[in-house]
């Protein structure tokens, strides 16, 4: 295996102290089955529990672990972007730290990546979320689909594999992580979906997926719509 095969797993963290060691154990087992070099890049979003202490412990015990720590809470998109900047490979895997995504799905997604494909998206066909989270997600998806046609079933699944070179070219704004598929498409990425396992949250409290957050995303949609329109107009001008 060459360094081209290496992949970086970016994990945003906010108050997930009870999940981190279990998550890393599952991630390490899954990563080692690939036979590829890999790393885990944790990004602590100014957690108020022991999350950062646990991440530091993992970094001392495991050479694969690196981390970034924010001095103030900046949100999930900022955490993802910090992880992209810190990643030491051109293949980036994103996954939540709440154990609802299953690291065991990563190897099959990596097998799909790179075969005329610059982005692989997890599709939570059987979601294990709370009622409120499912309803808020459906509302957000309905609004997004009316404005942004990204052509995927489950934009909100955090388990994704993407080309870092393209990620670094994306416009950065609050809640941009909700629009990775369409933003990557605008950079020329070819996308594939794969059904993945989704699990109930066993510890901690969900920080995302409330109705308030779904409604707040409408403002971001306006900006994304403008980006799409600007990209289309620019492409037409280039062809003339």
CB atoms within 10 A of CB 202: 11
Partnered with residue 121 across adjacent β-strands are: 160, 193
- pLDDT > 90? residue 48: yes
**Cβ(27)–Cβ(104) under 8 Å?**
no
Helix (H) or strand (E) holding 7: strand 7-13
54-104 tens-digit pLDDT = 999 999 999 999 999 999 999 999 999 999 999 999 999 999 999 999 999
**Nearest-angstrom CA–CA distance, 105 and 111:** 11
Q: Residue 130: how many CB atoms within 10 A of its CB?
A: 13
Overall average pLDDT of the 199-216 stretch: 59
- Residue 178 has a pLDDT of 85
Cα 207 to Cα 57: distance, rounded to the nearest angstrom:
24
> What is this structure's pTM?
0.82
3-state SS, 168-180, equals CCCCCCCCHHHHH
pLDDT digits (tens, 9 = 90+) for 146-188: 666 667 777 778 999 999 999 999 989 888 898 899 899 989 8
* Mean of pLDDT values over 38-48: 98
In words, the CATH class of domain 3-130+153-208 is alpha beta
């Amino acid at each position: 295996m060459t360094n081209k095969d290496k992949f970086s797993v970016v994990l945003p963290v906010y108050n997930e102290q009870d999940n981190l060691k279990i998550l890393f154990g599952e991630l390490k087992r899954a990563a080692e089955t690939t036979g590829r070099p890999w790393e885990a890049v944790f990004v602590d979003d100014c957690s108020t529990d022991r999350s950062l202490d646990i991440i530091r412990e993992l970094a001392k015990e495991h050479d694969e672990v690196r981390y970034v720590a924010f001095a103030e809470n900046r949100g999930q998109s900022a955490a993802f972007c910090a992880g992209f900047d810190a990643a030491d490979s051109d293949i980036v895997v994103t996954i939540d730290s709440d154990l609802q995504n299953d690291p065991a799905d990563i190897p099959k997604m990596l097998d799909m990546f790179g075969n005329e494909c610059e982005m692989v998206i997890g599709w939570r066909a059987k979601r294990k979320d709370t009622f409120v989270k499912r309803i808020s997600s459906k509302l957000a998806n309905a609004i997004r689909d009316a404005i942004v046609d990204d052509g995927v079933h489950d934009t909100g699944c955090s388990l994704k594999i993407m080309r870092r070179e393209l990620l670094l070219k994306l416009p950065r704004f609050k809640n941009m992580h909700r629009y990775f598929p369409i933003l990557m498409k605008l950079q020329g990425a070819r996308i594939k979906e794969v059904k993945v396992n989704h699990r109930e949250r066993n510890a901690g409290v969900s920080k995302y997926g409330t109705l308030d957050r779904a409604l707040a995303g409408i403002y971001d949609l306006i900006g994304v719509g403008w980006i799409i329109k600007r990209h289309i107009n620019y492409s037409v001008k280039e062809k003339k």
